[in-house]
Structure formats: C-alpha cells, structure tokens
C-alpha cells in the first residue's frame, strides 16, 4: 500500500522552480583551513579555501518573516537591525546538516537589491522542513540600507 504523505504533496508544489526563483551559495566556514606552509614548495599544504568549503550552490526560495517574530531579543543588546529570513531549498540537494554560522550569499534573485547580500545561518531545523528543506538566517538591515 503506497501512501503519499501530506508533506510530500506540499513538497511537490513548493519545490517547483517557479517558486524557488533565487540562486544561493552556502559556505561552511568551519571547513576553511590555512593548513601548514611548505617552505620547499612555497605553498600551503592541507589548505581549504572558501570555494572548496561550499556545501550548496543552487536554487532557493527566500522568505522574509514577520517583524514581530524575534525569539532571541537581539534588538535590546544590538544596535544593528537584524532581520530573520527563511530559505527553502530542494530537500534532496542538501542532505547534511547546515551548521549555525554558515554564510549564505544570494547569487541571483528577482529582486536585484538582494544579490550579493550575505546572511548568517541561525537554525538548520524549521517547522516547514518536513516538506522542503528550510533553514533560518539573519541578515543585517543596516548593511542593506547602506549602514556599516
């Protein structure tokens, strides 16, 4: 008896390319290492550069969340305006964990103002992950608006 679970029916719809219209890259900074300098060759042995630490590059859906939802209360201790953003990815394209602190860069998006914007992953698990892979990030609103 084959039964299609509710989350698979939602996944079939939400993972369509017409909904996942952005392209992103996820960099796991914990994989970047300098290695050891080899004086004989003049190169770093065992070094992993940021391009090799890319754990995902592909399509995504970028979803902003409501301003009233801020469970960490950063606004009281941080003068920067941090905005939560959720990103949905094709579930099977990223099987491993996305560590907190990974950097997400928007490579292309219908809204060109988002291109090149870095975000920091705050959570790998989200309620909508049952259907499509969903990670939560934070993006600096001050950086977007030209602040430093």
Tens-digit pLDDT profile for residues 36-80: 777 787 777 777 776 778 899 999 988 877 655 455 555 555 555
The pair of structure tokens assigned to 130 is 């049952």
CB 119 within 8 A of CB 84: no
Average pLDDT for 110-139: 82
**Residue whose tokens read 């705050």:** 122
**pLDDT of the residue at 140:** 77
Angstrom distance (rounded) from CA 69 to CA 84: 8
Determine the Cα–Cα distance for residues 53 and 87; give it in Å rounded to an integer: 19
Q: What is the mean pLDDT of residues 8-35?
A: 82
> What is the predicted pLDDT for the residue at 41?
77
Decide which of 28 and 45 is more confident: 28
Instruction: Render pLDDT for 68-123 as a digit per residue (tens, 0 to 9).
Output: 545 555 555 555 567 888 898 888 887 678 889 999 999 999 888 888 888 999 98
Name every residue whose Cβ is closer than 8 Å to that of residue 115 and which is 6 or more positions away in sequence: 106, 107, 108, 109
Cα(64)–Cα(130) distance, integer angstroms: 19
């Amino acid at each position: 008896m084959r039964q299609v679970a509710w989350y698979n029916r939602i996944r079939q719809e939400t993972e369509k390319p017409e909904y996942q219209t952005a392209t992103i890259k996820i960099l796991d900074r914990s994989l970047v290492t300098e290695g050891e300098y080899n004086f004989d060759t003049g190169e770093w042995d065992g070094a992993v550069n940021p391009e090799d630490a890319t754990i995902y590059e592909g399509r995504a859906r970028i979803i902003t969340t409501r301003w009233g939802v801020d469970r960490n209360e950063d606004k009281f201790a941080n003068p920067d305006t941090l905005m939560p953003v959720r990103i949905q990815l094709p579930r099977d394209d990223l099987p491993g964990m996305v560590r907190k602190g990974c950097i997400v860069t928007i490579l292309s998006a219908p809204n060109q103002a988002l291109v090149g914007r870095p975000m920091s992953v705050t959570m790998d698990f989200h309620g909508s992950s049952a259907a499509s892979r969903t990670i939560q990030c934070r993006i600096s609103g001050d950086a977007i608006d030209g602040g430093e």
